[in-house]
Chains A and B, each alone.
Chain A
Amino acid sequence: MYQLFTPIFFSCCSGDALALPRVTCPNHPDAILVEDYRAGDMICPECGLVVGDRVIDVGSEWRTFSNEKALKDPSRVGDAQNPLLNGGDLTTMISKGTGAASFDEFGNSKYQNRRTMSSSDRAMLNAFKEISTMADRINLPRNIIDRTNNLFKQVYEQKSLKGRANDAIASACLYIACRQEGVPRTFKEICAVSRISKKEIGRCFKLILKALETSVDLITTGDFMSRFCSNLGLPKQVQMAATFIARKAVELDLVPGRSPISVAAAAIYMASQASAEKKTQKEIGDIAGVADVTIRQSYRLIYPRAAELFPPDFKFDTPVDKLPQL
């Protein structure tokens, strides 16, 4: 009788620091297993044996389109994350209960604790909400909102402007973002959608530029032409004429020291008065945010050389010598 010894051996590697047993194919212990992430399997390339199963799927989340009338998609686990701005918030929030058992005898909900999510980022999330609200009032596109959020995050993390109201910093970030994207908004336009005064926004603006060590381009008259003219309902010809007038006026240095907004408003006034759609100084002042006396002052400076300021191909409804003289 021969006894058969079944040798018992551990499949542990001698050179490894880990003591975890690795799964190997029983027929091919040296083969490196191929991971099939779709099915969650580990397959031996030599013989095709499925060795491990129910491996966690590391692929992207998939949507089930089978059940269209269900409003809630049960395979979704939460809101789209914004990891760039939130510092990787992976906490789980417990929502309020919906059944009858979640309310105690007085009608108060039993489980109340869903407030403390991430106290350090709470102010930032609040500011993002405020930025979104402000931007929505003046119909700003997503790229400006994203840039504003990024700027706010940088300023908030730097903590150099910690004492200032977050709304003021948010408004100033919005102003800077509009400037950086090449579509500047005037301080007064930002004031109109924010509760902060122009003075405070201006102060925060300068502080933020210093803190982030960035700079912005100088505003020009042409930056505001399309917005002001379309708000006034002026046709493209008048808008192009006003842009030309304002640029020429600055080139000829007829308006030294005047704010580009005032010069733009005066140019729009001159162009509209020479065309069929005449706008009053008050209307232009309301749209541009300048006083009508300011438009009058700048208009008086450009009026003497009005003939050379108009573009050569402009169709005059009122000739240059009949323009109003204020």
Chain B
Amino acid sequence: MATREEKIKIASKFLKAAPPGEINDVFNDVRTLVGDDELLDGGILTALEEYNIEELATVEVPGIEGKVIVSKHGLIERNRFLNPKTNQTFMLDHLRQTASDLESHTVDEEVEELRKAIENDTEAYVADRYAEGVSAVYGSKGVVTIAIVHNKYSPSNYWNGRWRSVWTLDVATNEVKGAMKCKVHYYEDGNVQLETAKELENKLTKDASEPHKVIAKALLDFIGAAESKYQQALNESYHDLAESTFNGLRRALPYTRTKLDWNKILTYRIGAELAAK
């Protein structure tokens, strides 16, 4: 019989691996498997928090227009997150995915102008590549962080998908770091999952002495090119996997170009053994 700790550990593992848009389904499944409601609600809350933060969950915040991203870059204190666009923080109920208790936040004046310029260009970029994408641009201690998430859910067609990008710019050193992750789940009479991840590092050619608008444009041009290149690599990989790796596993037909003659196989291998009674 599994101990309380073991149960929480296993349940947490399932939760953190929930496919895009299916966290509620996984939560209900886990509840059935593990039993003991009280145990669950207390013990796996950490797993839900980690899930929401890692997956860039989006929430509606009363008083703020549009959806707001939940991420570690906006984590002020446990369960309180920052919406950098309006410079407000809110409390998040991780279980119900609801927000409340808006408060104003102290801005990091040093990086705020640059943050705003980058936010402007980011929103234009996201609108142009991610049909229902949501973004957030944070600025703090000389680092500007961009978070982009795009969810597409189609449970009636048995598929869901999520794209996440996180980019950081170190203002002093011009270093740009990026991480792009994609997850797709297809589950009609089956269970097929795609998971991709790519990280990269580089330097912007425009340095901190340039006007903010110029830096912002250079950054978003760089990001746009890098993400397009990554998407191209993904598509090429799909082609290679289909034509090379997949075909190398099972042929569509034997080299004879006809299906098996099962009668021939039997008479050749078995002989009279089975026929004799």
Tell me if chain B binds chain A.
Answer: no
List A residues at the B interface (Cβ < 8 Å): none
